[in-house]
A and B are shown apart, each in its own frame.
Chain A
Amino acid sequence: MAESRRTFLKQSAASVAVVSLPGCAPMSAESPDALLPATLRAVGETMLPEELGADGRERAVAAFELWSEGLEPVAEMAHPYLVPETVYTGPDPRPGWAAQLRGLDIESRKRFGASFGEIGVPERRSVLEPHVRRAGPDLGRPGNAAHVALALAAHFFASPIATDICYGRAIAKQQCRGLAAAGDEPAPLPGVAS
């Protein structure tokens, strides 16, 4: 990986991780609803692009953890246009996601004699594949994901950074950028295919 690209990934992933979301209260590691960090990272290695590098993937997983800590169950959603009823987000997905991470370890031990983090990527994929298949191709909102692996993938691929990496351009969606450069083609990201 070119140095400039490494720098970009590092900086951009870091900027995701440090975004402070109002209302976030960290969950204690002992809580039964806490997402097992090692298993979650192994899921990250399986679902997220290798081209992010270990640092980039670590930052994407950390950003997901921070995001999930700030998630408020059954929150009032932005009103759909001209619908007079209040619409709410779903119940808390985190206990289910935490159980799924524990389940991945149990299944890996049963099938491969080692925890999910200890088995190889092809074996991990065989464990995750039924869940991915069941969900269908579209990622949707991370909070609605039926499986923690899908939530993690949805969170990363919807991020401004993922879009920039895909296009190889500094689009910086959802960031307040001023009007001046709106008409310009977004600048190429050094070292990223565009």
Chain B
Amino acid sequence: MSQVIESDVCIIGGGISAAMVAERLAETTEASITVVEAGGRTASLEERTATRARMLAYGENPYPNDHIPGQTGTGEMYQSMVLGGAAMHWGGAVPRYSPEDFRVRSLYGVGYDWPISFDDLEPFYQEAEERMGVAGEQGPPEYDPRSQPYPMPPLPLSWNLLRMREWTDAAGIPFWTQPWARNTEPWQGRNVCQRCDTCAVCPTGAKYTPDFAFDRLLAAGRIRLNERTLIRSLGLESGSDRIASATGFHQDAPDEPVQFRARTFVLAAGHAWSSHLLLMSANSRFPNGLANRTDNVGRYMTGHWFASGFIELPMRLYPGIFPNNSLLSHRFASPGPLDRYLRHDIRLWESTVGREARLAADDGRVLWGDEVMADWRARTRSTATARIRSYYDVIPTPESRLTLHSGMRNSHGDPMPRIDYAAGQATLDLEPHTHETLLGRFDELARAAGGRMMSTRASRLFEHPGGGCRMGDDPATSVVDARGRAHDHENLFVVGAPTIVSSGCANGTLTFCALSLMAAEEIARG
């Protein structure tokens, strides 16, 4: 072995879940911590003004070199393999799941209960919000339960969203400001949001990205960071089921293996690569992959689906004031008793759809110069567009599965992940009812404003994906326990997205972070 690196804790992956674990362990223990990230660094904060300008002008990726050529699979996956992971690109929408998400089997007779409750996770939600810096508005407590206030006041509603909130109030559905991992006050040395409209790449540092946390830990000498180092397999201690090592290579020296040895290993490689690495680590004692005695690794891959639409509103709005803020309602995520299962959120944004300049009139006549402007003004003077979207939860199934791809290999010849997502039969059976109800709700909202639906769409993309190493009390049906510890390996933790039981009807990353912090508390106990 060319190089052996020893530490107390080895964290595999350098995304947002890894950042949460590393920070908490660095603060609450004396442990030596190594973070191993397959990718390198992308645009620094200083460089983001320039990459933002090119993204706006040309649509270019504002995060150069944020992926590894050939290291990719099929199915819904993020391309980013870089320090910070997918959360370099993220928008930073950070709602919590609802209490019902953790008890759908008990409450509604569908899907699976989690081995933890909302109340168990609540302190870790708060901690995650404080670590990243979340600005939010307290919604009605019955739909937005929290034990403490948001760390920061909410992003202000734009003039557009204020008008839209008057409309939703009149419709009788409570909406409040989407919580965001973006600063409304200086937070941990980072700036306040400047309303630049390009949250995919924030030039001011107001949006939380995990590289900030890693840089802080590096500056404090609390972590060792091995970038551009892809772990290819985990190995066992001889005669025991404990993990002894993680072996990989630096991208610049692919033929010189690097081995990481630690007392505790934390797999924080995201929803796809975590299961992938366990499957890749098969050995004679675990022929189907590590942590996979009961054949659950890679199963129950999940995410939420959505229905969306555009509403024409009889009001004047000014798209572009603050398109990256939105209104949120969790009214229907906590619906009370139901005849037929459907839980969903609703989000509303300003939109330019149908309100952009165009070169032909409705009758097909070509428009020139001043005519283009006149036509554009006519379509924006007293009408506007709102975008509406509802995530609804998909009931997970063991058939929704990540396996090793027989026909797709990286430059080392390793098979890549293949994810064949599927929805449980309950979701498919309920789909007509789900769509009818959602589109009916959209239509009712539109009519409450005197508006009309312009278009609707249903998506089966598994958004905010997770699963593959789901948590549970029963090793026969789960991979890790309620704190992320692998049932099969006492010193291996899997954290964040892979461990979710279901993906609720809200953006998932805050929950992934809260779960990671909960695992970190257990790891710190030793």
Binding site for B on A (CB under 8 A): 19, 21-23, 46-51, 67, 70-72, 75-79, 81-86, 89, 125, 129, 132-133, 135-139, 141, 143, 150, 153, 157, 160, 162-163, 165-167, 169, 171-179, 182-186, 193
Given contacts A82-B76, A86-B69, A174-B196, 19 further A-B contacts (CB under 8 A): A46-B368, A50-B369, A50-B370, A67-B57, A75-B60, A78-B60, A79-B78, A82-B77, A84-B73, A84-B78, A139-B356, A153-B372, A165-B373, A176-B195, A179-B184, A179-B194, A182-B156, A182-B321, A182-B322
A176 to B52, alpha carbons, bound, how many Å? Answer: 12
Q: How far is the CB of A161 from chain B (nearest CB, A)?
A: 11
Q: How far is the CB of B184 from chain A (nearest CB, A)?
A: 7
* Contact present for A153 and B194 (CB under 8 Å): no
Q: Which residues from chain B contact A129 at a C-beta distance below 8 Å?
A: 366
* Contact present for B359 and A139 (CB under 8 Å): yes
A9 to B50, alpha carbons, bound, how many Å? Answer: 26
Closest residue of chain A to B135 (Cβ to Cβ) is A179
Known contacts A82-B465, A138-B356; A157/B372 CB under 8 A: yes
* Contact present for B80 and A174 (CB under 8 Å): no
A72 to B60, alpha carbons, bound, how many Å? Answer: 9
Known contacts A79-B79, A82-B77, A193-B377; A179/B359 CB under 8 A: no
List 27 interface pairs A-B (beta carbons < 8 Å), by A numbering: A22-B54, A23-B54, A47-B369, A48-B369, A50-B369, A71-B58, A76-B61, A77-B61, A78-B59, A79-B61, A79-B78, A132-B359, A137-B359, A139-B359, A150-B359, A153-B357, A153-B372, A157-B376, A160-B320, A163-B319, A171-B320, A173-B323, A174-B197, A177-B195, A178-B194, A182-B156, A183-B156
Q: How far is the CB of B351 from chain A (nearest CB, A)?
A: 13
A81 to B59, alpha carbons, bound, how many Å? Answer: 14
Q: Is B7 an interface residue (CB 8 A)?
A: no
Q: Which residues from chain A contact B80 at a C-beta distance below 8 Å?
A: 79
Known contacts A79-B79, A139-B358, A166-B373; A183/B60 CB under 8 A: no
* Contact present for A49 and B373 (CB under 8 Å): yes
* Contact present for B380 and A166 (CB under 8 Å): yes
**Contact mask for chain B residues 355-382; partner A; CB cutoff 8 A; 1 contact, 0 none:** 0111110000010111011001100100
Q: Which residues from chain B contact A82 at a C-beta distance below 8 Å?
A: 76-78, 461-463, 465
Closest residue of chain B to A180 (Cβ to Cβ) is B156
Q: How far is the CB of A81 from chain B (nearest CB, A)?
A: 8
* Contact present for A84 and B59 (CB under 8 Å): no
Among A78, A141, A179, which residue has the most Cβ atoms of chain B within 10 A? Answer: A179
Known contacts A89-B59, A166-B373, A171-B321; A183/B157 CB under 8 A: yes
* Contact present for A186 and B72 (CB under 8 Å): no
Among A51, A136, A173, A184, which residue has the most Cβ atoms of chain B within 10 A? Answer: A173
A22 to B53, alpha carbons, bound, how many Å? Answer: 8
Q: How far is the CB of A8 from chain B (nearest CB, A)?
A: 15
Binds A, one of B126-134, B198-206, B228-236, B473-481: B198-206
- When A and B form their complex, what is the total count of cross-chain residue pairs whose Cβ atoms lie within 8 Å? 174
* Contact present for B465 and A166 (CB under 8 Å): no
A132 to B62, alpha carbons, bound, how many Å? Answer: 32
A163 to B318, alpha carbons, bound, how many Å? Answer: 9
A178 to B67, alpha carbons, bound, how many Å? Answer: 32
A174 to B323, alpha carbons, bound, how many Å? Answer: 10
Q: Which residues from chain A contact B359 at a C-beta distance below 8 Å?
A: 132, 135, 137-139, 150, 153
Q: Which residues from chain A contact B45 at a C-beta distance below 8 Å?
A: none
When A and B form their complex, which 10 residue pairs have the shortest distance between CB atoms, in order from nearest?
Answer: A173-B320, A157-B357, A137-B360, A176-B194, A22-B50, A176-B196, A84-B77, A137-B358, A82-B76, A182-B156
* Contact present for A84 and B74 (CB under 8 Å): yes
Interface residues of B in 298-323 (CB under 8 A from A): 318-323
* Contact present for B366 and A179 (CB under 8 Å): no
Known contacts A79-B80, A83-B79, A157-B372; A163/B53 CB under 8 A: no
Q: Which of A83, A169, A179 contacts B195 (CB 8 A)?
A: A179
Q: How far is the CB of A194 from chain B (nearest CB, A)?
A: 9
Q: Which residues from chain B contact A178 at a C-beta distance below 8 Å?
A: 194-195
* Contact present for A186 and B58 (CB under 8 Å): no
Q: Is B21 an interface residue (CB 8 A)?
A: no
Q: How far is the CB of B371 from chain A (nearest CB, A)?
A: 9
A167 to B357, alpha carbons, bound, how many Å? Answer: 12
Q: Which residues from chain A contact B78 at a C-beta distance below 8 Å?
A: 79, 82, 84
Q: Is B438 an interface residue (CB 8 A)?
A: no
A1 to B159, alpha carbons, bound, how many Å? Answer: 29
Q: Which residues from chain B contact A176 at a C-beta distance below 8 Å?
A: 194-196, 203-204
Q: How far is the CB of A107 from chain B (nearest CB, A)?
A: 17
Closest residue of chain B to A130 (Cβ to Cβ) is B366
Q: Which of B57, B72, B156, B360 contacts A84 (CB 8 A)?
A: B72
Q: How far is the CB of B50 from chain A (nearest CB, A)?
A: 4
A84 to B86, alpha carbons, bound, how many Å? Answer: 12
Known contacts A19-B53, A129-B366, A183-B158; A167/B196 CB under 8 A: no
Q: Which of A19, A77, A185 contacts B318 (CB 8 A)?
A: A185
Q: Which of A21, A51, A78, A157 contacts B53 (CB 8 A)?
A: A21
Q: Which residues from chain A contact B89 at a C-beta distance below 8 Å?
A: 78-79
* Contact present for A182 and B159 (CB under 8 Å): yes
A129 to B77, alpha carbons, bound, how many Å? Answer: 44
* Contact present for B158 and A182 (CB under 8 Å): yes
* Contact present for B57 and A70 (CB under 8 Å): yes
Interface residues of B in 192-247 (CB under 8 A from A): 192-198, 200, 203-204
Q: Is B56 an interface residue (CB 8 A)?
A: yes
Q: Is B55 an interface residue (CB 8 A)?
A: yes
A193 to B319, alpha carbons, bound, how many Å? Answer: 17
A177 to B203, alpha carbons, bound, how many Å? Answer: 12
Closest residue of chain B to A75 (Cβ to Cβ) is B60
Closest residue of chain B to A23 (Cβ to Cβ) is B54
A12 to B482, alpha carbons, bound, how many Å? Answer: 57
